[in-house]
Structure 1
Amino acid sequence: MRAIMFRPMWIRIVCIMFSCLLIISSFPNLDVRASGITVTIPNSSFEDAGTGIPHWTTHPTYGQNTATVSNERAYTGLNSMKMVDTSSTASLARVSEKVRVTQDEEYTASIFAYIEQGSIDVWLIFYNGTTETVVAPASVTPTLSQWTKRSITAKAPSGTNQVAVMVYSSLASVTTAYVDDVSIGQTVRNAGFEDPLSGTWTVSSGAAVSTQQKTGGTYSLKLDDSSSTTASYAESSNVPVTSGSRVGASAKIYPFSGSGLSIHLLFKNSTGTVIKDVVNDFTGAASQWTPVSVSATAPTGTASVSVYLTTGTTTSMVVYADDVSLDRPIEYNLGTQITNNPLDGAVFGKDASGNTDLMYVGSSGFPSKLVVYDARTGELVDDQNLNQTEAVWGMTVATDKSVYLGTANKKTMFRYIPGTVSTVNGKKVITGSSLVPITLPTGMDVIWDVTAGSSGKVYGGTSTSGKAFQYDPTGGTVVLNNNQPIVSGLDFERSIAYASDTEVYMGMGPTSNATIIRFNPTNGTQSTISPANYGSTYVLGLDYISNGAASKVFAKLSAGPMLVLDSANGTLDTSLSGVDSLGVSTKHPSDDKVFYTKGNNLYSYDISAKTESNLGDVGGSAVGYTFLTDAGNTYLYAALKSGKVLKYLLAATPTIDTTTSFVIPESPTKIRSLVNGPTDKIYTSGYLRGGMGIYNPDTAEETRYKGAGQAENMTTIGNNLYMGIYPGAWIKKYDTTSTWNDTTNPSILFQDIDGPPYHQDRPFGMLAEPLLNRLYVGSVAGSGKNKGSFTVYDLSTPQQVTTINDIVYHQSVISLAYKDNKVFGGTSVYGGIGSTVDATEGKVFVWNTTSANSTPVPQFVPAPGRKVISDLVVGPDGKIWGLAEGNSSGNSSHDTTADLFIIDPNNPDAAHTTVYSDKFSSIPVTWQGGKMVIGNDGNAYVSIGAKLYAVDANSATKDAVVLVGAGVSLLTADKYGDLYYVKYETNLYKYDK
């Protein structure tokens, strides 16, 4: 309800009135009052793309004919109206059909606009016979490059009986903009109290307009309750509304003396009788303006609604109110919040002609990308979206020049067949390429790695069933090992390397000791060549280096070292520490060396001598290698994460050349966590590659940063945002008053629970307690482990950390709430990826913050038959409200539903918990499920099962209504009570109540 909305007070500032010829319309008039507060006018979303712009006309005064129906952008649907005003001396306008109005009533017109340059405004034209009264809004600097709502409110002048909406680009503005979802409707009279109260508001004797305090304009409403027994009140005019409509009212309140004010929605039937009174009792800080709101769904039989403001009857008080609004809630698409362009992998090959050396880069995002460059110049020749994928895990180039990409999504491997590179108008382009998705069999959900075999074949390792495959473009996919896991009980084949058609190496996990398998694809025989126990869960990377009888396998372990193993018997040659490159190069064509990086330094490893050498700073970590010949010399080429191409000459006098650069295009990033953070801004963290988006509700300003990692959840104390980072359950602190730099801000605050004995990975439970200056963190264990932890971080000096591992036996801690010196923790029966599930029901435990807790900590099942306690909050009644999901009872109704439960914090046990069963729709959940916030209107709002609900906290059965019916996840709210959630994974949405 803030910066991106135009409130009624603005129309009081500017009102331009003049007469001109009546616009003759051949279309029938429509009754704006027929459908309630807001009605849609014909072709309001421009989906009708017939001749011209159907149902919209030009205006004789506001010239140019440069508006069209466009499918380039749309707020909803497929089309919008594109307005291109190329003149700085002439205006551009389009006028809707007219609708009937009632004189002296107030009406609001709204549009959604995406302004690339210039300015677009919405005007109202009232009609009285042949006379027009044109009302323009106040001048407001527009927000560019995002969909924003622009509105205007005005009273229908005496004698007028029709109104039309005009979308307008001014004389001075050169504009390119898109307009969508135009609407007009009735609102309360005298919403800013600039006119006399008589005839617009019904008031008590203690109510009057006042100039002493105001948020805009000249006047506000003053409610002076000098009596402690009689309330002072003001009720707005009635506004038509139909049953089932969601209605929201808001006002700004300034308590001057005393405390307590209530804002009501009074729903009335056709005779004017109140059939439902929805109230939000508000107590705000004295001597400052504070927003207050109330919202509800109109009950059956509703004909109208009014806004009712009243003081209490127990104490005398003086309070001011201003800028009242009454409208249906609006859902805004605030768009992508986070973008990234990570260099996740690179391989080298040639174009179809064989004349151009190509560098292929895989970049994660949603969608992920395959980007193709001239390897020698860094020029981009192709940019392909890998639709519906979020990560590129493995890449290889087959013997037929095809490039294969293993992805994190939906059993999909992509095959890119390169075309031919040519130069057109001085720019290199590739033509004739194709990108083909290949769907693998069931169980092969994530393709971790791919490696090239003979005759165009490729091999790949997958999860979640620990299977490997061979793909032949002439014969399709063959699941190896007779369609069975390579090693029973190991569900992740994280790495794979090809030696020959009878020898393929596979890195398996999760396990306490990294497992490497030598597998024969022709007969299915296998042997284990696992190294000594290095405490690694996975083998993250494998490279087979052909060197005759001295061939080697380089194995990168998840615990850190890279091992060099003899391929014949698995004996260890050496262990290389600090290697952070993505694998090693092939063997140098004329030397017994392979290459890799540590930090920014290039290293070589001499296979025969079993020694490594530091070759110098190259400015970045390597992710892919090849050897190319220039002027008779053999050079190592490597793609560096710094965006450089390394060209290294191994010679008596070595040379390092990193002058060639390449740029990876940005791609949207999925949103992993969402919170209201410091200074009431909305913070989002990115999935897989991190990054942060910050949205300012007051200004609609968006800020984006890269780095920091994937925050599973976040919480706030003062100006500091605390982030729970995966992997490793690290805790980072972002000081929002200092510059973001991803090295020292956010800074690493704690990183002690990822290793033994705790092995924690995902901090989903994040709770800050400012008075105690503590963080409470609930976490999910690492892969293969099911003992979640609860950790107390004392942020005072000296800092102290207390971790209680397995606080609820073999469950993860994913939700936390604080009330009256108690932390309430909610659990999930699911542990880390690939772990054993041996618990049946999610629990709530209670941690006393003022005394030394001893284990076992008090715990109980709040919602029998449920596996996951996905969220806990302090409810509007001061009790602990929670969400419970997942079916562990065999009750079929639990398969697709979730429960609401309420705990008495003074008696936290099952006997004092009320369960509202099957309250919401649900979908399968392990760790991250439903989210709940308490609105400043006293309602609870729940994002669960891909839907957004409002829960009537005052109803005995906690009635829930669906506000948004699909695509919803996560949830938070701003200080105004407006809701924010993620829709379809990458876009932030705002529900303006």
Structure 2
Amino acid sequence: MMSDPQHRPTRRHLLGGGIAALAALPVASALGAPALADPVRPAAASLIDLGPALASVNVRSVAFGQLQDGRSVAYALSNGDPATLSVLDVLTGERIFGTEIPGAELGGFVTPGPDGLIYFTCRSPMKGGLFSLDPVSFEVTLIAEGISGQSVLYDGSFGPDGRLYMGTYPNARVLAYDPATGEIEDYGTQTEDAAYVFGLGVVDGEVWVGTGPVPHLFRIDIASGERTEMQPPAHVMEGTDWFTGIAQRGDLVFVRLSPRGTYDMAVYDQLTETWLEEIVEGTFDTAPTAVARLNRVYYLQGDVLMGYDLRMRRTLSVGFEDSALREELSEAVGTYGIASSEELPGLSPYTVVGLNTDGVLWTYSTRRKQGSSVIADVLASPAGAHSIGTGPDGAVYMGAYLSSGVIGRIDPETEEIERLRGPKQADTIVAHGQQLVISSYPGAVAHIGDPSAAWDWSAFDQILMLGRGAPNYQDRIFGVTSVGDRIALGSVPDYGQLGGALTILDPATGDLEFHRDVVPQQSIVTLAHSDGLVYGGTSIHGGLSTTPAQDTAQLFIWDVAAAALVSAEEVVPGAKVIPEIAFGPDGLLWGLAGEGTVFAVDPTTGAVVHRIATGLPFGNNWGLLTSLFSRTSEGCLYAAGGNALLRIDPVAATADVVVDSDVRYAALGGNDRIYLAGEINVYRLEE
């Protein structure tokens, strides 16, 4: 397909201890623990480059419009390294223009402006970049980044004054950009108890602002800046922690809520100034279309296109749930942008168009109850591994961060990387007997399936969803280990929450034990099992937008049969996270501490027998970007951390650097070869 040259953005404006193994056994105190061993020594190693871990389309933001020549188009931001922007013909899927966004891996919002330009945001590692696209010349301009010290810009909406209003993280600010003057007005932090202004919309000339994870809904007078907090009724606020989207359509305002289990949508009537009693359940994170024929808007309820009658104030079916198109799109992670034929004159009347995360562009006739799809030529981009693990088949699997639903697999025989369907974000991948367990975000979900069969992600069974919000308040599972026929899972709580959980699950029956705050106010990020005891490492950090209440991470022991905590103690003074633990070939329990110590504990006595200083930071707040595993054939362990690969000799109590850069994760394949996931590419250690 044809595409214009990939223009690069031009800069225009920049703003600026010890632990007891059993209650009856002796405990080695911190005073009695060994002194730190000698630090790591560098070593040389050769690597074989296997190529990018994953390369895919991952559309997260979409807006629709028309070019000067009359073509109806979609403006699509796709996540990757770097993120990309594509302009697509909605009738054919042809890419008319595409460009990479250097310095950004994640797209934000995209919206047409009244001046004819298209405005969009990107981030990570850049701080909240605001861009414009000229749809005539296809020039991309970086307008500003890091405005008022903000990392993320959310939900841009133009007001009647022609200014672009945006919410922010981490200080829950509201900003207004004036394209005519280039000036940016900062309306300040909206509330001190929430870090996000996530939902924002312009309603009858006012800016409505929704926060999270502590929910507030404000109305801001554009001229005066005066802010008034709205007080939605109990049936709207019950279970609501976030206001995630605000869109006025006619006399109604559609307000999307989270988590409420599956994301819901409340409706506010501007004429009567009341909230309707009906809560529209299970809506996806996509705004309703503009008002279409028959005084309707269209929205997504899960993966089903639905209609809403603005006059009758009620939902209605458009037949999508029974269509062949729904079945065709069944494996898609989601659709982040839809539009009606009233917005896009090139479409037939009574038609809705959508663009899925994986680049599938679909159209559906609400009159004929039929649809079709094409694969749009979205500019793809490579992505690094977010997680890594070895399956029972010996293959190494890699999860992706907020993907379009992909998993990578390294074939142990050919070492080719396969791209497979999977969850949006695989956080942990482990073998359980002959099955593969994959945990995913959001909502602390786990699936299980047989990787030896022809790969079919839809055949994997969802065996757990702890869920955001009440009653469990869990969001991410990073620690997973087999406990006989059962599985132990350690989790990080929801946004704004402290206190992770240990869940013991029988995947055959679904029976589970849920134990929150095993270590009070700490998350559980790594697990190991031996002889009926589950060992776990914690992080003092909870969900995003929380302040730790404890000072030091702990290593705990849980008696599975008794369903009781045996002990929980500090093993490395000052460590904020214990990101990895694993049993070594010497029978000791080895682990990594976040501040850079490799340690070993004797499980029979509870004594800390080794502490090795590495000078390398291990893991982030939750212990990501680390790995630890035993290599029996060599009688040693390997650890990934601090962007390096270390070889741990348990006899000599040394940790030597084998690879000193571009190491995010590591795993031992069934072929006894070591694979490394770098920022983008995957390597095999040559020996």
Structure 1 and Structure 2 fold alike (TM over 0.5): yes
1:954 alignment partner in structure 2: 651
Seen in structure 2, the aligned counterparts of structure 1 residues 700 and 827 have a Cα distance that, compared at 3 Å, is same
1:494 alignment partner in structure 2: 198
Match of 1:594 among 282, 289, 297: 297
Seen in structure 2, the aligned counterparts of structure 1 residues 826 and 517 have a Cα distance that, compared at 3 Å, is same
Match of 2:246 among 539, 542, 547: 542
Seen in structure 2, the aligned counterparts of structure 1 residues 750 and 542 have a Cα distance that, compared at 3 Å, is same
2:604 alignment partner in structure 1: 906
- Give yes or no for contact 1:411–1:442 (8 Å, CA) kept in 2: no
- Give yes or no for contact 1:730–1:754 (8 Å, CA) kept in 2: no
1:661 alignment partner in structure 2: 374
- Any residues of structure 2 matched to 1:829-848 within 5 Å, and which? 829-848=540-559
2:421 alignment partner in structure 1: 706
1:234 alignment partner in structure 2: none
- Give yes or no for contact 2:45–2:659 (8 Å, CA) kept in 1: no
1:34 alignment partner in structure 2: none
1:112 alignment partner in structure 2: none
The percentage of counterpart residues that share the same residue type is 23
Match of 1:348 among 56, 64, 70: 64
1:152 alignment partner in structure 2: none
CA distance in 2, matches of 1:622, 1:811: 34
- Any residues of structure 2 matched to 1:270-285 within 5 Å, and which? none
CA distance in 2, matches of 1:982, 1:624: 36
Are 2:586 and 1:877 aligned? yes
2:46 alignment partner in structure 1: 330
Q: Quote the RMSD (CA, aligned, Å).
A: 2.8
Match of 1:400 among 115, 136, 141: 115
The runs of at least 4 aligned residues of structure 1 exceeding 6 Å deviation read: none
Seen in structure 2, the aligned counterparts of structure 1 residues 923 and 537 have a Cα distance that, compared at 3 Å, is same
Q: Secondary structure at the match of 1:683?
A: strand
1:485 alignment partner in structure 2: 189
1:726 alignment partner in structure 2: 441
CA distance in 2, matches of 1:335, 1:497: 43
- Give yes or no for contact 1:404–1:413 (8 Å, CA) kept in 2: no
Residue ranges of structure 1 left out of the alignment (5+ in a row) = 1-295, 299-327, 421-430, 887-897
Q: Secondary structure at the match of 2:393?
A: helix
CA distance in 2, matches of 1:631, 1:778: 51
- Give yes or no for contact 2:203–2:247 (8 Å, CA) kept in 1: no
CA distance in 2, matches of 1:380, 1:927: 39
- Give yes or no for contact 1:707–1:742 (8 Å, CA) kept in 2: yes
Match of 1:606 among 309, 320, 325: 309
Match of 1:448 among 113, 137, 154: 154
CA distance in 2, matches of 1:919, 1:718: 34
Match of 2:398 among 671, 684, 707: 684
The one-letter code matched in structure 1 to 2:518 is I
- Give yes or no for contact 2:72–2:346 (8 Å, CA) kept in 1: no
Seen in structure 2, the aligned counterparts of structure 1 residues 434 and 640 have a Cα distance that, compared at 3 Å, is closer
Seen in structure 2, the aligned counterparts of structure 1 residues 581 and 730 have a Cα distance that, compared at 3 Å, is closer
The one-letter code matched in structure 1 to 2:630 is I
CA distance in 2, matches of 1:780, 1:792: 15
Are 2:225 and 1:509 aligned? no
CA distance in 2, matches of 1:701, 1:676: 15
CA distance in 2, matches of 1:752, 1:948: 33
Are 2:78 and 1:363 aligned? yes
Seen in structure 2, the aligned counterparts of structure 1 residues 632 and 905 have a Cα distance that, compared at 3 Å, is closer
Q: CA deviation at 1:499?
A: 3.2
Range with bigger deviation, 782-791 or 355-364: 355-364
- Give yes or no for contact 1:544–1:553 (8 Å, CA) kept in 2: yes
Q: CA deviation at 1:372?
A: 0.8
CA distance in 2, matches of 1:728, 1:773: 24
Q: Secondary structure at the match of 1:954?
A: coil
The one-letter code matched in structure 2 to 1:448 is Y
Q: CA deviation at 1:821?
A: 3.1
The one-letter code matched in structure 2 to 1:698 is E
Q: CA deviation at 1:716?
A: 0.6
CA distance in 2, matches of 1:541, 1:391: 19
Aligned length: 622
CA distance in 2, matches of 1:521, 1:778: 46
Provide Cα deviations, 1:190-232, integer angstroms capped at 9, x if missing partner. xxxxxxxxxxxxxxxxxxxxxxxxxxxxxxxxxxxxxxxxxxx
Q: CA deviation at 1:786?
A: 0.8
2:503 alignment partner in structure 1: 791
1:571 alignment partner in structure 2: 274
1:853 alignment partner in structure 2: 563
Seen in structure 2, the aligned counterparts of structure 1 residues 753 and 622 have a Cα distance that, compared at 3 Å, is closer
- Give yes or no for contact 1:709–1:726 (8 Å, CA) kept in 2: yes
CA distance in 1, matches of 2:667, 2:360: 36
Range with bigger deviation, 599-608 or 755-764: 599-608
- Give yes or no for contact 1:980–1:991 (8 Å, CA) kept in 2: yes
Seen in structure 2, the aligned counterparts of structure 1 residues 805 and 297 have a Cα distance that, compared at 3 Å, is closer
Q: CA deviation at 1:685?
A: 1.0
Q: Secondary structure at the match of 1:331?
A: strand
Provide Cα deviations, 1:767-786, integer angstroms capped at 9, x if missing partner. 124xx212111100111111
CA distance in 1, matches of 2:295, 2:186: 33
Residue ranges of structure 2 left out of the alignment (5+ in a row) = 1-40, 327-334
CA distance in 1, matches of 2:109, 2:682: 30
Q: Secondary structure at the match of 1:743?
A: helix
Match of 2:537 among 826, 831, 840: 826
CA distance in 2, matches of 1:561, 1:506: 17
The one-letter code matched in structure 2 to 1:341 is V
Match of 1:585 among 275, 289, 300: 289
Q: Secondary structure at the match of 1:736?
A: coil
2:173 alignment partner in structure 1: 467
What TM-score results when the alignment is normalised by the length of structure 1? Answer: 0.59
Are 2:487 and 1:775 aligned? yes
Q: CA deviation at 1:793?
A: 1.4
Seen in structure 2, the aligned counterparts of structure 1 residues 916 and 597 have a Cα distance that, compared at 3 Å, is closer
CA distance in 1, matches of 2:481, 2:577: 18
Match of 1:931 among 627, 643, 646: 627
Q: CA deviation at 1:633?
A: 8.1
CA distance in 1, matches of 2:542, 2:386: 19
The one-letter code matched in structure 2 to 1:932 is L
Q: Secondary structure at the match of 2:147?
A: coil
- Give yes or no for contact 1:628–1:635 (8 Å, CA) kept in 2: no
What TM-score results when the alignment is normalised by the length of structure 2? Answer: 0.84
